[in-house]
Amino acid sequence: MTHYRVTHRTTYRYEEPVSASYGQMHLLPRTADGQTCHTTRVAIDPTPDDLRERIDYFGNRAAFYAIHSEHTSLTVTTTSDLAVNRGGLGLLDAPSWEEVRDRTASPAVDDGWEPIEFLLDSPLVAASPGLADYAGPSFAPGRPVLEALLDLAQRIHDDFDYEPGSTSVTTTVDDVLAARQGVCQDFAHLAIGCLRSLGLAARYVSGYLETTPPPGKEHLQGADVSHAWAALWIPGSGWVDVDPTNEHFVDDRYVTTAWGRDYADVPPLKGVIFTKGLEHDLEVVVDVVRLDDPG
């Protein structure tokens, strides 16, 4: 069991005064398998006229806010205390990826209908022959699905450059495949697109990665920022999270905030504002601090 305090501060500075601001955040970590969120505090400056939390379609915690006073900057800070205990992965040798594919294609009623959602195209990630081709070498006939998944994550890590600023929030997965560079959300989309193109159900997970490298371990890319990765549905056992940006399975160094079909379902913050300005500056500061067991 690992205890964390995650602080996430997003600041927008606007070119011109903003008369009203409406927003929705996916910044409140959900409680999920292997993770319990004890408390979350939300602070917004200027003080919002309206703030309400709810559970969204995917079971994530979402919050709505509205600000009616004129302002030129907006700061949203969330502070969450959580405990993470994901446990290990026990099925590296079985089943084969084709078995998973076939069971996903016609899921038993017991599996629920929900995984089908993650097999279909979504706003930013559509299956394509190009993605299936790229995934092919990892998914040799009969290969155990988790071995294949890890291999795909490693190849994405090797073949693509981590290049902040090379993509935007509306970049599609085909753009990323062509450009061979991107950031964590692009690599997550790429992995999801590869899996869906093979007939596997995959979802997008947003969250955090612990910042301090443990002694003797190399520094992880994507540290000090909010993070994103992919998860694969394995009928009968559940979701397996993998981080293509850092080429390994997700463990207790990761904190999950929310999941959806792709980034568009769970952006950390999205909003509508009224202003004459055309530009803004954005600054995001994230701290993931390991706490002593609070008992």
Q: Given candidates 276, 289, 290, 291, which one binds other proteins under the rule CB under 8 A? A: 276
Which residue, 1 or 278, is less far from other proteins as judged by CB?
Answer: 278
The one segment of 37-45, 50-58, 80-88, 233-241 that binds other proteins by CB under 8 A: 50-58
Write out the binding residues for other proteins, residues 205-264 only, by CB under 8 A.
Answer: 206, 222, 225-228, 263
Structure tokens that stand for 93 in this block? 């040798």
Query: Which range of residues in 38-46, 49-57, 133-141, 246-254 is near other proteins by CB under 8 A?
Result: 49-57
Tell me how far apart the alpha carbons of residues 175 and 7 are, in angstroms, rounded to a whole number: 32
Stretch that binds other proteins, among 14-22, 83-91, 131-139, 172-180 (CB under 8 A): 14-22
Structure tokens at 204: 């997008």
Instruction: Go through the chain and tell me how many residues it has.
Output: 295
CB of 90 to other proteins, least distance (A): 29
Q: Amino acid letter at 220?
A: L
Among left, alpha and beta (phi > 0; psi -120 to 50; other), residue 100 is alpha
Question: What six digits make up the tokens of 281?
Answer: 């500056």
To other proteins, the closest distance from the beta carbon of 252 in angstroms equals 21
**Residue 266, phi then psi, degrees to nearest 5:** -140, 45
44 in contact with other proteins (CB under 8 A): no
Kindly list the distances between the CA atom of residue 79 and the CA atoms of 92, 179, 288, in Å, as whole numbers in the listed order: 35, 36, 10
Closest CA to 25 of 270, 273, 284, 286: 270
Measure the CA–CA gap between 139 and 126, rounded to whole angstroms.
19
Minimum distance from residue 16 beta carbon to other proteins (Å): 8
CB 240, min distance to other proteins, A: 20
Q: In the complex, which residues of this chain contact other proteins (CB under 8 A)?
A: 10, 12, 18-20, 22-24, 49-50, 52, 54, 56-58, 64, 66, 68, 109, 112-113, 116-117, 119-121, 164-170, 183-185, 188, 206, 222, 225-228, 263, 265, 267-284
